Amino acid sequence: MPETSPDDAPPGTAALAFPTDFLWGASTSAYQIEGATNEDGRGPSVWDTFCRMTGRVNHGHTGDIACDHYHRYGDDVRLMKDLGIGAYRFSLAWPRVLPRGRGVANQAGLDFYDRLIDTLLEAGIEPWATLFHWDLPQALDDLGGWTNRDSAGWFADYATIAARRFGDRVKHWATFNEFSVFTLFGYAFGWAPPSISDKAAHLKTIHHVNLAHGDATAVLRAHVPGAAIGAIHSVQPCRPSSDAPEDIAATALFNEHWNLCFPDAQILGTYPPQIGASIEPYVRAGDMARICQPMDWFGLNHYAPMYAKADPGMLWGFVFGALPENLPRTGVGWPIDPSAFEQTLKELTSRYRLPIYVTENGYGSQTQPAPNERAELDDQGRVAYLAGSIEAMHRALRDGAKVRGYFVWSLLDNFEWGAGYGDRFGIVFVDYATQERIPKASARWYAALIKSQKAPPNRPKR
């Protein structure tokens, strides 16, 4: 494996040398940054609706303006270029492309993504597009959303429009972002749109989303010459929060839901045992072959180990449990344990045997009083977290994990779903009153890391 000189590496990564073709990127998603929810023909999404329901999102925040990226994408691309970022993972907003989810495409919405993609390419930054990062068109939810088996066809039609329009320039595609998170939160826990807690609805959703993934993969393969197609999974080791047998059993089911039921179906062609038994009534002949398409890469979003416990009051009998007292925590209370990242990369390599791109990893902070700009800009907690993660990723790579790239979450502070704008994950600070962007210490640190890993001019790149 050709390696670069780590001479210029920033503190915390001085001994690391990644392959010269290792990809260093940054991630965002449409609803979290674009704003302009009512402009140029975009239709409403389930998140627009959810944000308007009393008490669902902290402080009643919405994505209406967010980071105004819809108008400021040029500045944001320049910012990435200045940081030396090699690839940018963004999502297309389905309701911007198809305001009612199906039917006639919205030219102004497609034009926006044309401008973004062209600006990225001019800046030498690879565009990585995700088709779905949770913003289902409201008009489709009105028809049952993912609980409706037709949703796979709606998604494939949307994928066809995107592939035909952007496939000449975008070669890296992901079908979905974090299947388990939006399905569990939306259809089992009821904490996200469409706020359902129902076993049949949840099981149907799992299966239909898997079908949609399979159909969209086939569409991308057919319409994008040279496509590198992946899907993005949230994978975090699930640990029981006590030794009690009921907590251990609840954790096993939690693990099937969170970590296994999407990638196992998509890559191995089977559901894990407990879910497999309960999902059977919704699976028709030929479905598993439709779902299990050849994939080019595995997208891993990793943050922290998760602790689960039994709770008979919850739909599936499990819920998040207490964290061990001795684990340090991020500014939003998530445990910090880089060994969980190393373990995850190694386990995924042996289970699925695909090249892995870490499509999200990052640190959330809550600066009080909000925003305490001084503390936020000198974000040493985030720097330490990123350094610990990247060291863990390097150990995994050294031991044979097939990790090929890393995208930090997130380029910008943004709309953090139910937490609104209070939780900040950006390496770049956003002043929401003025929309000024200010790189934090972590952005400078990441830029120095990327620079240190670039091939010296006299050494050819692989």
Rounded Cα–Cα distance for residues 201 and 191 (Å): 15
Smaller CB distance to ligand IFM: residue 337 or 360?
Answer: 360
**Residue position matching structure tokens 């994505």:** 63
Q: Total number of residues binding ligand IFM (CB under 6 A)?
A: 8
Smaller CB distance to ligand IFM: residue 181 or 228?
Answer: 181
Q: Per CB under 6 A, which of residues 41..80 are in contact with ligand IFM?
A: none
Amino acid letter at 191? W
Q: How far is the CB of 206 from ligand IFM (least distance, A)?
A: 18
Q: Per CB under 6 A, which of residues 153..212 are in contact with ligand IFM?
A: 178
Q: How far is the CB of 273 from ligand IFM (least distance, A)?
A: 27
For residue 309, give Cα distances in angstroms to 251, 273, 333.
6, 20, 18
Phi and psi, residue 37, nearest 5°: -70, -20
Q: For helices 151-166 and 199-223, give the axis angle rounded to 10 degrees.
A: 30
- 135 lines the binding site for ligand IFM (CB under 6 A): no
Smaller CB distance to ligand IFM: residue 154 or 409?
Answer: 409
Q: Are 246 and 310 in contact (CB under 8 A)?
A: yes
For residue 384, give Cα distances in angstroms to 7, 209, 370, 375, 379.
19, 36, 22, 15, 9
Q: How far is the CB of 360 from ligand IFM (least distance, A)?
A: 5
For residue 315, give Cα distances in angstroms to 246, 262, 276, 416.
15, 19, 17, 25
Q: How far is the CB of 177 from ligand IFM (least distance, A)?
A: 6
Rounded Cα–Cα distance for residues 202 and 145 (Å): 11
Active-site choice (342, 360, 376, 416): 360
Smaller CB distance to ligand IFM: residue 96 or 165?
Answer: 96
**Residue position matching structure tokens 């388990």:** 180
- In the set 201, 240, 416, 430, which binds ligand IFM (CB under 6 A)? 416
Q: How far is the CB of 196 from ligand IFM (least distance, A)?
A: 20
- 29 lines the binding site for ligand IFM (CB under 6 A): yes
Q: How far is the CB of 282 from ligand IFM (least distance, A)?
A: 26
Active-site choice (34, 178, 342, 376): 178
- Strand pairing partners for 127? 88
- In the set 301, 349, 361, 452, which binds ligand IFM (CB under 6 A)? 301
- In the set 155, 409, 421, 445, which binds ligand IFM (CB under 6 A)? 409
Smaller CB distance to ligand IFM: residue 90 or 316?
Answer: 90
Q: How far is the CB of 408 from ligand IFM (least distance, A)?
A: 11
Q: Per CB under 6 A, which of residues 266..295 are in contact with ligand IFM?
A: none
Please report which helix (H) or strand (E) contains residue 253, including its range. Answer: helix 245-255
Smaller CB distance to ligand IFM: residue 4 or 259?
Answer: 259
Rounded Cα–Cα distance for residues 216 and 225 (Å): 15
- 360 lines the binding site for ligand IFM (CB under 6 A): yes
Q: Are 167 and 227 in contact (CB under 8 A)?
A: yes
Helices and strands of the chain, counted as H and E runs: 17, 13
The verdict on whether 342 is a catalytic residue reads no
Q: Draw the binding track, 424-443, toward ligand IFM (x: CB under 6 A; -: no contact).
A: -x------------------
Smaller CB distance to ligand IFM: residue 27 or 106?
Answer: 27
Smaller CB distance to ligand IFM: residue 70 or 185?
Answer: 185
Question: What are the residues whose beta carbons fall under 8 Å from the beta carbon of 57, sequence distance 6 or more?
Answer: 50, 51, 417, 418, 419, 420
The verdict on whether 178 is a catalytic residue reads yes
Rounded Cα–Cα distance for residues 223 and 171 (Å): 11
Q: How far is the CB of 409 from ligand IFM (least distance, A)?
A: 6
Sheet holding 318-320, edge to edge: 238-240, 306-310, 318-320
Residues that bind ligand IFM (CB under 6 A): 29, 32, 178, 301, 360, 409, 416, 425
> Catalytic residue numbers?
178, 360
